[in-house]
A and B are shown apart, each in its own frame.
Chain A
Amino acid sequence: MSLVTPDLGLLFWMVVIFGTVFFLLAKFGFPIITDSLDKRNAKISKSLKDADEIAVLMSDWKVEHARLMEEARREHSAILRSATETKSRIMDEARAKARLETEKMVADAKRQIAAEKESALRDVRKEIALLSVEVAEKILRSELSDESSQRSFIDSLVDEAHQTPLHS
């Protein structure tokens, strides 16, 4: 039957047409496309490999980063601690100095006050002595205005001189 006997004309045309189309596409069609596909495949696999490498690098970096962070944190706290220490030391020192200063000042003031007091006392004493001499003078003058009283005063003085030890 004609169904299973290949027809010569169709065979001929099939060879010609298929051959022509194949020739054209094998020259201008498929290689361009498949080359692009190959290039893209290569790029994709390369990108994947690169991504893997970068991921490894990244994890290394992460470890490094964590280490650095830890170190920085330690350093930070150390600096803080030392700063606090310095601060309290400086404050202590300042406080001690201030106390010394104050004590010195207080002592100076006390000394000065004592000196002032002394000189004031001295002045007062001197004044009192002068005053008493003056008073005595006035009293003497008023009491020795007449002869008798002068005599009696001299007598009393002589008595007094007798009563007291010789050298006075």
Chain B
Amino acid sequence: MILAFLISLLLVMPGIGVSVMPGTDQASEIAGQAGNDGGSGEEVDVSEIIFEHIGDEYEWHMATWKGKDIAIPLPCIVIEDGVQVFTLHHAEEHGYKLNENGKLVNARTGKRPIDLSITKNVAALMISSLLLLVVVLITARWYKRHDALEEAPTGLAAAVEPLIAMAHEMARENIGEKDYRKFSPYLCMVFLWILFNNFLGIVPFFPGGANLTGNIAITLVLALFTFFTVNFCGTRHYYKELFNPDVPGFLKPIMPIIEVFSALMKPVSLTVRLFANMLAGHIMILCMVCTIFIVAKYGPALSGGLTLVSVLFGVFLDALECLVAFIQAYVFTTLSSIYIGLARQHEEH
């Protein structure tokens, strides 16, 4: 799977693919052109490119061809004295414009409306969630139609089963034999969802490419789901430990504060860990790709050498990202299961 991602990645980075193959003169020329297309004027605005890739936007920008943007238009939905739906091109007709952060604001007052637009991230979220839904339902259908006791899973089921088994096993180990079944679907869901979107994030073209798991809103929601699961399903023992832990008298007033604070910090750490890891990975890969375009003007020898170096680093970082994509999904799920396991502890422990 990882290999497939890597290969697809290399295939769709025309800048890299082309510039490595021919001689250095041609390479720099092509790279220069690509740089001109990507940025504005001679200079390559790296931070703009990077922020465009890792950020969110109101249409799905895919490529720039001869100065024209090729993008999938997405519906903008704003709520401000009623619901309005339009595409970005018609924003001004509806009295909205983009502010300096690239967000829709009221053209007159400059205020942010309630913005429920189907942005690039939301569209990617829908696509990947639908994909996940279909994949898991097909797998479930296999188990409904076959006797898993008699035959080994085939096709999609064989691919998805180990992942689900992994999450299920995590639930059992960390939550305990007694009531892990109740939480296993949530952990399976979190694990598969993060894994799915991490990998889709690495794929640089259409259905992938959105920086979903590197977006703090997404990871915040995931962490909050875990937080609420933990704190709504806690046992009496868990709440007693939280508010009235068994400690010497002089610590009594301090401990609840520390405990509650740590309980609140758990979702924050979950949020930031996943967000920062994925974001950093995306930024590093983008930097490597941008290096090729930045060095294009420094003459054939230097730019050719640096291009080769950055391609090698890019490949290395992509491989690393595949590893990180898995590890982060695993870590998030494991920590969630551990938190739930702690909340499900009973007196005898």
Within 8 A of B (CB), among A1-52: 2-15, 17-18, 20-22, 24-26, 28-34, 36-40, 43
What are 10 of the A-B contact pairs (CB < 8 Å)?
A3-B51, A6-B217, A9-B117, A10-B122, A14-B217, A18-B221, A29-B133, A30-B188, A30-B189, A34-B184
Taken residue by residue from 54 to 93, chain A's Cβ proximity to chain B (1 for < 8 Å, 0 otherwise) reads as 0000000000000000000000000000000000000000
The answer to whether residues A10 and B215 also contact, given A2-B103, A3-B279, A34-B188 and a CB cut-off of 8 A, is yes
For the complex, would chain B's binding face be called helix, strand, loop or mixed by DSSP majority? helix
* Shortest beta-carbon distance from B280 to chain A in Å: 12
In the complex formed, the residue of B with least CB distance to A14 is B221
CB atoms of A13 and B148 under 8 A apart: no
**B interface vs A, CB < 8 Å?**
51, 54-56, 77, 101-103, 114-119, 121-122, 125-126, 129, 132-133, 136-137, 139-140, 143-144, 148-149, 160-161, 164-165, 168, 181, 184-186, 188-189, 193, 215-218, 220-222, 225, 279
CB atoms of A6 and B149 under 8 A apart: no
CB atoms of A36 and B116 under 8 A apart: no
- A17 partner, pick from B55, B129, B149, B217, beta carbons under 8 A: B129
* Shortest beta-carbon distance from B45 to chain A in Å: 17
CB atoms of A11 and B217 under 8 A apart: yes
A2 to B55 Cα, complex, angstroms: 8
The answer to whether residues A7 and B217 also contact, given A30-B136, A33-B140 and a CB cut-off of 8 A, is yes
CB atoms of A9 and B144 under 8 A apart: no
Find chain B residues with CB under 8 A from A12 CB.
116
* Shortest beta-carbon distance from B159 to chain A in Å: 12
The answer to whether residues A37 and B115 also contact, given A10-B121, A18-B221, A21-B189 and a CB cut-off of 8 A, is no
CB atoms of B119 and A9 under 8 A apart: yes
CB atoms of A13 and B139 under 8 A apart: no
CB atoms of A22 and B126 under 8 A apart: no
**A interface vs B, CB < 8 Å?**
2-15, 17-18, 20-22, 24-26, 28-34, 36-40, 43
CB atoms of A14 and B137 under 8 A apart: no
The answer to whether residues A25 and B189 also contact, given A39-B148, A40-B148 and a CB cut-off of 8 A, is yes
CB atoms of A30 and B184 under 8 A apart: yes
A58 to B215 Cα, complex, angstroms: 61
- A34 partner, pick from B51, B119, B129, B185, beta carbons under 8 A: B185
The answer to whether residues A24 and B133 also contact, given A18-B225, A33-B139, A33-B164 and a CB cut-off of 8 A, is yes
* Shortest beta-carbon distance from B268 to chain A in Å: 12
* Shortest beta-carbon distance from B140 to chain A in Å: 4
A127 to B255 Cα, complex, angstroms: 160
The answer to whether residues A3 and B125 also contact, given A9-B115, A37-B165 and a CB cut-off of 8 A, is no
* Shortest beta-carbon distance from A45 to chain B in Å: 13
CB atoms of A17 and B148 under 8 A apart: no
In the complex formed, the residue of B with least CB distance to A27 is B185
CB atoms of A18 and B116 under 8 A apart: no
* Shortest beta-carbon distance from A11 to chain B in Å: 5
CB atoms of B193 and A26 under 8 A apart: no
* Shortest beta-carbon distance from B3 to chain A in Å: 26
Extra pairs beyond A9-B114, A11-B221, A29-B133 (4, CB < 8 Å): A9-B116, A14-B217, A21-B129, A40-B149
CB atoms of A4 and B117 under 8 A apart: no
The answer to whether residues A28 and B137 also contact, given A2-B103, A34-B184, A37-B165 and a CB cut-off of 8 A, is yes
In the complex formed, the residue of A with least CB distance to B125 is A17
9 tightest A-B contacts by CB?
A6-B217, A26-B185, A36-B148, A30-B185, A10-B217, A29-B136, A14-B221, A36-B143, A32-B140
